[in-house]
């Protein structure tokens, strides 16, 4: 009989210890260790000597067959479609629309075989109510409410569907383990079992993962390492726009994003995100500027707003929504040192309209201009787009793919574009850029003198 062994596992990061610890030495979280029991398998060396390496030139590569999900934004993020036998992890805040997105994929996916939707959180009647609201009536869609992984494994092997959705991985459990559902060992073992089924039977599988309050996938980090693709569904619950972003993709790029809008009929794809982000923008208002950001290969025009007002306290407040707080502090220091703006007695609030999060340095010039516009109470011309990275000495540095950014501004109808001087050589060689006034600047002072 196999011996049983117990150890203590951190439920945040998966760190294992022989004894209980109050604070995890790996992630520094308190009271996260839970005792878990497991059986040690008997050693069996039979067949280990038969393992042989294969020459890399003798390996035959089969073409990766992709199946369209029926949603162009989803296919864009996945790199062209769903790969047969792939394991995809989708994470997001509660109520953001993960289950809605997957149900709509079940309706639109271009597949001939059955689709199996496994829910561990809702009954099949609850799923049916949501499906009726979304007008999902795919006759190939089969639903089951189950949390026992061994029963799910037998069901998949018997039915052999072409596409499987598991919602969510934290509710599934393997009765061979004594730990509770959602624990590190349960999540790891169930994911490993689903990966084995997906690879052996060639079934594309999507699993839904809960996220922590910091926005990361709940459970051990090994979960993200095991799957082929990790997608995050982002957005504010009180806003209608959602962003699907890939942070890991073994079959494509991780730079692409998909834009959706949440309506009463479900998620609707947004083909033109620039128009969406700029809708309702006020005209000739201080503190409002437009920047050209690049999400993967897709350029987007985004409005950045700044509000600078005298502080009522000894310590001025700095708040940032959609941009890095430390980046805002750095850029305000550049304004104080290089431009001479005395911002020490002023509160500053920065917001990216639409609920998007941008971390691209090419938006630095737009952020600095928005702060200066609000501070001086002078509006920026309404049809102006700003592009450029700002250094600590106040210089405006060149950015990549400047042609795509300017072409997007032209398509929307903007008349003026301020770009780094280092990018002017590329623009001068491009004949297709017409009808827009492009001016290059070398530093922040020069840019502000042109705009205000």
CB 368 within 8 A of CB 391: no
Give me the CATH number covering residue 425: 3.30.230.10
Both 356 and 395 in a single domain? Answer: yes
Residue range 185-194: mean pLDDT, rounded: 88
Q: Is the pLDDT of residue 41 over 60?
A: no
Both 266 and 287 in a single domain? Answer: no
Both 336 and 242 in a single domain? Answer: no
**Range with the poorest average pLDDT among 20-29, 90-99, 208-217, 393-402:** 208-217
Q: What angle in degrees, to the nearest 10, is found between the helix axes of 444-451 and 364-376?
A: 50
With CA atoms as reference, report the closest residue to 388 among 442, 348, 437.
442
**Range with the poorest average pLDDT among 185-189, 226-230, 323-327, 406-410:** 185-189
Separation between Cα atoms, residue 337 and residue 281, nearest integer Å = 31
Count the Cβ atoms, other than its own, within 10 Å of residue 282.
11
Residue range 156-176: mean pLDDT, rounded: 91
Separation between Cα atoms, residue 408 and residue 339, nearest integer Å = 30
Name every residue whose Cβ is closer than 8 Å to that of residue 351 and which is 6 or more positions away in sequence: 304, 305, 306, 320, 321, 322
Counting the structural domains of the chain, the total is: 3
CB 441 within 8 A of CB 336: no
CB 125 within 8 A of CB 245: no
Q: Is residue 44 one of the residues assigned to a domain?
A: no
Structure tokens at 132: 């009726």
Q: Domain boundary residue among 219, 251, 271?
A: 271
Could you read off the pLDDT of 397-412 as tens digits, one per residue? 999 999 999 999 999 9
At 147, the pLDDT band (50, 70, 90 cuts) reads very high
Question: Which residues does residue 166 pair with via DSSP β-bridges, in sequence order?
Answer: 118, 207
Please state whether beta strands 346-352 and 298-310 pair in parallel, antiparallel, or not at all (unpaired).
antiparallel
Q: Is residue 184 one of the residues assigned to a domain?
A: yes
Q: Is residue 54 one of the residues assigned to a domain?
A: no
At 285, the pLDDT band (50, 70, 90 cuts) reads very high
Q: Is the pLDDT of residue 26 over 90?
A: no
Instruction: Express as a percent the part of the chain with pLDDT over 90.
Output: 54
Both 289 and 329 in a single domain? Answer: yes
Both 197 and 303 in a single domain? Answer: no
Separation between Cα atoms, residue 426 and residue 438, nearest integer Å = 12
Quote the pTM value.
Answer: 0.77
Average pLDDT, rounded, for the chain: 87
Q: Is residue 366 one of the residues assigned to a domain?
A: yes
Q: Domain boundary residue among 223, 248, 271?
A: 271
Both 72 and 207 in a single domain? Answer: yes
At 1, the pLDDT band (50, 70, 90 cuts) reads very low
Q: Is residue 302 one of the residues assigned to a domain?
A: yes
Q: Is residue 53 one of the residues assigned to a domain?
A: no
Q: Is residue 123 one of the residues assigned to a domain?
A: yes
Which spans in 227-324 are helix H?
273-278
What's the pLDDT at 379? 95
Q: Which helix (H) or strand (E) holds 417?
A: strand 416-420
At 45, the pLDDT band (50, 70, 90 cuts) reads low
Residue range 297-319: mean pLDDT, rounded: 91
Give me the CATH number covering residue 194: 3.40.50.300
Residue range 98-115: mean pLDDT, rounded: 92
Q: Is residue 406 one of the residues assigned to a domain?
A: yes
Name every residue whose Cβ is closer than 8 Å to that of residue 195 and which is 6 or more positions away in sequence: 87, 226, 227
Both 248 and 104 in a single domain? Answer: yes
Q: Range of 120's domain? A: 65-271
Residue range 165-190: mean pLDDT, rounded: 85
CB 260 within 8 A of CB 267: yes
Q: DSSP secondary-structure letter at 311?
A: -
Both 279 and 198 in a single domain? Answer: no
Structure tokens at 197: 């089924």
Q: Domain boundary residue among 271, 295, 314?
A: 271
Q: Is the pLDDT of residue 449 over 50?
A: yes
Q: Is the pLDDT of residue 43 over 60?
A: no
Both 94 and 187 in a single domain? Answer: yes
At 39, the pLDDT band (50, 70, 90 cuts) reads low
Residue range 107-133: mean pLDDT, rounded: 92
Q: Is the pLDDT of residue 443 over 70?
A: yes
At 212, the pLDDT band (50, 70, 90 cuts) reads low
Q: Is the pLDDT of residue 372 over 70?
A: yes
Phi and psi at 2, nearest 5°, equal -70, 140
Q: Which helix (H) or strand (E) holds 33?
A: strand 33-39
Both 93 and 216 in a single domain? Answer: yes
Task: Give the per-residue SS3 of 380-397.
Answer: CCCCEEECCEECCCCEEE
At 4, the pLDDT band (50, 70, 90 cuts) reads low
Q: Is the pLDDT of residue 49 over 70?
A: no
Both 370 and 245 in a single domain? Answer: no
Both 257 and 388 in a single domain? Answer: no
């Amino acid at each position: 009989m196999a011996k049983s062994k117990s150890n203590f596992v951190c439920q945040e990061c998966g760190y294992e210890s022989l004894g209980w610890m109050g604070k995890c030495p790996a992630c520094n979280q308190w009271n996260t260790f839970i005792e878990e029991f497991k059986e040690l398998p008997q050693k069996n060396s039979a067949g280990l000597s038969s393992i042989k390496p294969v020459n890399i030139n003798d390996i035959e590569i089969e073409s990766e067959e992709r199946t369209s999900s029926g949603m162009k934004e989803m296919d864009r993020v996945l790199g062209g479609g769903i790969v047969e036998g792939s394991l995809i992890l989708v994470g997001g805040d509660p109520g953001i629309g993960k289950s809605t997105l997957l149900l709509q994929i079940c309706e639109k996916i271009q597949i001939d075989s059955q689709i199996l939707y496994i829910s561990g959180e809702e009954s099949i009647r609850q799923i049916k109510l949501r499906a009726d609201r979304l007008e999902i009536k795919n006759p190939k869609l089969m639903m089951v409410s189950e949390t026992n992984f061994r029963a799910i494994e037998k069901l998949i092997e018997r039915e052999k569907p072409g596409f499987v959705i598991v919602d969510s991985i934290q509710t599934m459990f393997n009765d061979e383990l004594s730990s509770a559902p959602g624990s590190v060992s349960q999540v790891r073992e169930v994911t490993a079992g689903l990966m084995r089924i997906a690879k052996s039977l060639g079934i594309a599988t999507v699993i839904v993962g809960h996220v922590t309050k910091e926005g990361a996938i709940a459970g051990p980090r090994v979960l993200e390492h095991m799957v082929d693709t990790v997608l995050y569904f982002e957005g504010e619950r009180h806003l209608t726009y959602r962003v699907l972003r890939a942070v890991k993709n073994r079959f494509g790029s991780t730079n692409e994003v998909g834009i959706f809008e949440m309506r009463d009929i479900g998620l609707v794809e947004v083909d033109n995100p620039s128009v969406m982000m700029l809708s309702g923008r006020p005209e000739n208002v201080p503190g409002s500027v437009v920047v050209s950001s690049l999400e993967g290969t897709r350029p987007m025009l985004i409005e950045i707003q700044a509000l600078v007002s005298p502080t009522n306290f000894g310590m001025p407040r700095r708040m940032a929504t959609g941009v890095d707080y430390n980046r805002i502090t750095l850029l305000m220091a550049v304004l104080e040192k290089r431009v001479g703006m005395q911002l020490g007695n002023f509160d500053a609030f920065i917001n990216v309209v639409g609920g998007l999060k941008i971390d691209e340095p090419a938006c630095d010039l737009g952020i600095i201009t928005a702060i200066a516009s609000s501070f001086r109470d002078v509006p920026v011309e309404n049809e102006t787009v700003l592009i450029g990275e700002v250094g600590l000495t106040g210089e405006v540095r060149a950015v990549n793919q400047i042609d795509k950014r300017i072409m997007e501004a032209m398509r929307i109808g903007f008349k003026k574009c301020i770009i780094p001087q280092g990018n002017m050589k590329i623009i001068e060689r491009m004949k297709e850029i017409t009808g827009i006034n492009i001016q290059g600047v070398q530093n922040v002072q020069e840019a502000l003198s042109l705009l205000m």
